[in-house]
Amino acid sequence: MRLEQSLFGAAFQNPVVLAAGTCGFGREVAGVVDLESLGGIVTKSVTLEPREGNPPPRVTEFGPGMLNSIGLANPGAERAAREKLPWLARNLRRARVFVSVAGHAPGEYVRVVEALDSRDGFLGYELNLSCPNDARLEGLPFALDRDALAGLIRDVRARTDRPVLAKLAPNDPDPGATARAAEEAGADGLTLVNTLPGLVLEPGSGRPVLGAGSGGVSGPALRPLGVWAVERARRRCSLPIVGAGGVSTAEDAVQYLRAGASLVQVGTASFADPRAALGIVAGLEAWGRRRGIGSVAELVGAGPGRRDAPDAPRGPAAGVVTVGE
Ligand code: RRO
């Protein structure tokens, strides 16, 4: 199965991308994972000013997932431009880089983009509109306020010619409507989904396990929600979608592709095995080859497969696109 696709004006050698916040700015993980064998990476979110992040512990595990509250720890836009982008420019040729951008106000996103835009080392931006851990943010994240989201995307769109992805939230009752709003505002693609707000308490004391209190839920528990959000967004908008949430195997990635994602991000799985994403690339190729699927693009949005496919959960409905054989 051919894994390459052309998206956002660039060639992606395969659909597997490291998620924001799980690989720093690339260099931090380059000793343990061959980044040039991946479709790409998304950097840690960059804010205008440097941030120390939240008090420890910042991460804890629970049954089927993980809870984090890192608190946007990052060097700020100026140092990211000076100290992080040059390494990416020198070292990543085949893997595509998106810089994640975060802030408290639309103007902060715009200023981060203005600080980075003339530099080399990255393809485009992923606007983090859905961080669950920003104590300084009052009210809803931008991703859950469609008017604010649309205004912010329009402001950024006007400042850059690079591709702009909008990263949306999992606790959105109507991700299709939000996806549509992002498309109309000028986004080039969507990333679905960020982590889900959650709280883990120590039963004895009742105190939160994380230093910051609540955090963002990721890992396998998040996957059905992410796949559902991608499928809903696919129905309402025609932008390329990047699926994220609980991908740890090639089969997980296939679910996102079939639901309508063109790329998939791997996050939490990399903490258990830094090379998990490479295994998913190899597993995807083998999965498709065994089924006679010519290219990954054939899978995107293909929905349910044939009744006789080895692991098809149910048979095809009338009019449903099938792939393979
Ligand atoms: O830094 C974080 O605590 C964080 C961010 Br910005 C985000 O978007 N999602 C998340 O789970 N953690």
Q: How many CB atoms sit inside 10 A of residue 139's CB?
A: 8
Cα 106 to Cα 155, 176, 284: the distances in Å are 7, 22, 38
Please tell me if the CB atom of residue 69 comes closer than 6 angstroms to any atom of ligand 1.
yes
Q: Just list the catalytic residues.
A: 131
Please tell me if the CB atom of residue 45 comes closer than 6 angstroms to any atom of ligand 1.
yes
Instruction: Report d(CA 255, CA 236) in Å as an integer.
Output: 19
Tens of pLDDT, residue by residue, the chain (325 residues): 999 999 999 999 999 999 999 999 999 999 999 999 999 999 999 999 999 999 999 999 999 999 999 999 999 999 999 999 999 999 999 999 999 999 999 999 999 999 999 999 999 999 999 998 876 566 789 999 999 999 999 999 999 999 999 999 999 999 999 999 999 999 999 999 999 999 999 999 999 999 999 999 999 999 999 999 999 999 999 999 999 999 999 999 999 999 999 999 999 999 999 999 999 999 999 999 999 999 999 999 888 754 434 444 444 443 344 443 3
- Prior bond of 193 cis (ω within 30°): yes
Please tell me if the CB atom of residue 131 comes closer than 6 angstroms to any atom of ligand 1.
yes
Please tell me if the CB atom of residue 74 comes closer than 6 angstroms to any atom of ligand 1.
no
How many Å lie between the centroid of ligand 1 and the Cα of residue 77?
17
Ligand 1 atom nearest residue 69's Cα: 3
Ligand 1 atom nearest residue 102's Cα: 6
Please tell me if the CB atom of residue 262 comes closer than 6 angstroms to any atom of ligand 1.
no
Q: CA geometry: angle at 141 spanning 140 and 145, to 5°?
A: 70
Instruction: Report d(CA 193, CA 210) in Å as an integer.
Output: 22
How many Å lie between the centroid of ligand 1 and the Cα of residue 322?
37
How many Å lie between the centroid of ligand 1 and the Cα of residue 2?
33
The answer to whether 106 and 159 are in contact (CB under 8 A) is no
Instruction: Indicate yes or no: pTM above 0.75.
Output: yes
The answer to whether 101 and 125 are in contact (CB under 8 A) is yes
The answer to whether 165 and 204 are in contact (CB under 8 A) is no
Q: How is residue 311 written in tokens?
A: 């692991």
Q: Which stretches within 145-207 are classed as H helix?
A: 146-157, 175-185
Q: How is residue 61 written in tokens?
A: 């595990």
